[in-house]
Each structure stands twice: as structure tokens, then as C-alpha cells.
Amino acid sequence: MTVAFSGVISFPAAHGRASIDIRRFIDVTMESGFRMLTGTAEIRFPRNMRSFDKKRVNELFQKGDPVNIMLGYDGNEYEEFSGYVLQVSTGFPVVIKCEDEMYNLKRKTVSVSKRSCTLKELLNEIASGYQILCDDAQIGSVRYSDMLVSEVLDDLKQKLGFNTYFRGKTLVCGRTSIDGGEHVKVMIEKQANDTLKEKSIEKVYVRVESLQKNGKMLKVDKGEKNSNGIIIKQPNLTEVEIKKIVNATYEKALAPGLDGELTLFGVPRLQHGMIADLESTLYPEKNGSYYIDSVKKTASFTGGLRQVAKLGSKTN
């Protein structure tokens, strides 16, 4: 059965111009992952397009303009990207770089001071108006003065290990991928090319530190101190909670997995946060279910839609 690639790139009405829908483009590249603060897209158009109507490209498309990318086969298209124009290059070809909803939080400045709060309380304050999906975690006292929201989110990642990204208009924040979980079956020899190999198990050291309200610091560690270190700091945890985090983090770090990439066409459709159920007849050691950590998609009318996924830990 032969299927035809199809897609539309839409620029809703902005700064006085009407909306523009473009169905002919050179190619588009998108990348997203649960460890990536910002999802990105890059679109390339030929310069002499009827949609441009002899107007200057940087007048038609301006920084901050909304953009939506729908891709698929035989007219069955899915929204693969939604965001804003970051940069317009008016050469040959025209190149438009875009960022997802994080574009707005990279331009919003906040000041927050709290003696004690949860992760969700902080996110609701610095990213008001967005739906929040996050870990249920106490983060203790916080103090941020005239900082970009994106800088606050980066601080949460560096100090507490919380990764943040957008799924559409929903802000997702957690130590692991807490969004998605949908299973997708991939038969490697029939549907994909891969460079996957079994992940080498390295020595790991995990330490969790928790500052108590009385000023006492509770610490629990596990593993060999001279190996790769994972340090998590989270206030007001009980010793039982600390040990639970230490054990879970240690086991996850040593869990079997696959290094490399999984490459396939646009079907089945992949997103980071999904669980890939791999089946291989030639290499049964690759069989199993793995979290998808990131996905890079490229699309063109000559090459169709391709997806390159990097896998995370094994789930079974």
C-alpha cells in the first residue's frame, strides 16, 4: 500500500496580515524531549512562492508570530508543533526558526519569595494561565528576584533535578517523564532502522540531601562515591522518603536500557514520553518496553516524514 505525505504550515493572522496556510515547503525539522526546556522547529521555504505575493518575507513573518505545523499521510494530519516565530532568514531559501510555548516564558520576568511551597504552587505563580502537570513535591523556601521564568525552571533542574517542557499549552515538570505513557509497538526489522545496543552498566553514586525546618541536614547515599554522581536536594523530607528516593534513583540509573537511535517513517507516530514496545526477530535482546526520551522529526515532499527517537530506561 502506497501512502502520500501531506502537511500544512499555518501562520494565524498577526500584526495586521491575514492568516497564511502553506502546503508546499522544502522541509521542516522539529525536536523535542523531556530533558529539553524548549521544543524547536525549523522551516525552509523556496523564495518564489505564490503565498508571499511579492511581499518582503520579514514583513509577512515577524518574531513572535504564532505558527502551527500539521503533518501526516493521505490527508490524515496531526499537530506536530505549535509555537512562535523566533527568527526569519530572508535568503535563499527562506528559513524560519521557531520555539514552542516556552518562547513566552523566556520573556517573562518574575519575583517570588516564599518560606515554604510545593513545586505546583511555585509553577502556578510563575506560569499563571497555564495548565500544570508536575511531581507532588515540597521544595521548601524559594527566592527569585527579577528572573526570567525560564531561568527559574533551569534552576529547578540544576538544583533539584526537575525537567520542564511544554506539551501543547500544558507545562510539565518532573524528575522523570510523567507525561504520556502511551504504548506504541515497533517491529524493528519491518518498520525501523536502528543503531541500538545494550547500555553499558556503569557504577553509580546517589545522594539525597534534605534540609529540615530546624536547620538540620538529613543525608542518605548509596553506591560508590568515586563513580558517576547524582545529587538531589529537596527540603523537609523524612528519612523514609529520602531512602525511597535514593533507592528508586539508584535502581533507575542501573536499569538495563539501549543506547543509540531508532529511526522510522511517520507511522507509527512517536512522541517523547511514549513507551516503545520493541520486537526484533534477529536480535531478541532488544525486545522490551522503553521510554522515549526525545524525538527529532524531519519532513519533506521528497523524503516524507522521518522520526529519530532516543530511548530511555526499560520499563519491564
Domain count, the chain: 3
Please tell me whether residues 127 and 193 are part of one structural domain. no
C-alpha to C-alpha distance for 158 and 161, rounded to whole angstroms: 6
- Whether residues 293 and 203 share a domain: the answer is yes
For the entire predicted model, the pTM comes to 0.82
- Residues 95 and 127 both lie in one domain: no
Does residue 188 share a domain with residue 136?
no
Statement to judge: residues 11 and 68 lie in one domain: yes
Say whether both 166 and 201 belong to one domain: no
Same domain, 228 and 306: yes
For residues 155 and 191, state if they share a domain. Answer: no
Do 258 and 196 meet the contact criterion of CB atoms below 8 Å apart? yes
In angstroms, the CA 9 to CA 141 distance is 44
Q: What is the CATH number of the domain that holds 142?
A: 3.55.50.30
Non-local (6+) Cβ contacts of 168 within 8 A are 82, 101
Q: Are 188 and 305 within one domain?
A: yes
End of a domain among 100, 117, 136?
100
Q: Are residues 165 and 242 in the same domain?
A: no
Element (H, E) at 188: helix 188-191
- Residue span of the structural domain in which 160 resides: 107-174
Which CATH number goes with the domain that contains 20? 2.40.10
pLDDT in tens, the chain (316 residues): 567 888 999 999 998 889 999 888 999 999 999 899 999 999 998 877 666 655 677 788 899 999 999 998 887 889 999 999 999 987 788 899 999 999 999 999 999 998 888 999 999 999 999 999 998 888 888 899 999 999 999 999 888 888 999 999 999 998 777 777 789 998 887 887 777 676 666 677 888 888 887 888 888 888 877 666 778 877 778 888 888 888 877 777 766 666 778 888 888 899 998 998 988 888 777 888 888 999 999 999 888 899 999 988 777 6
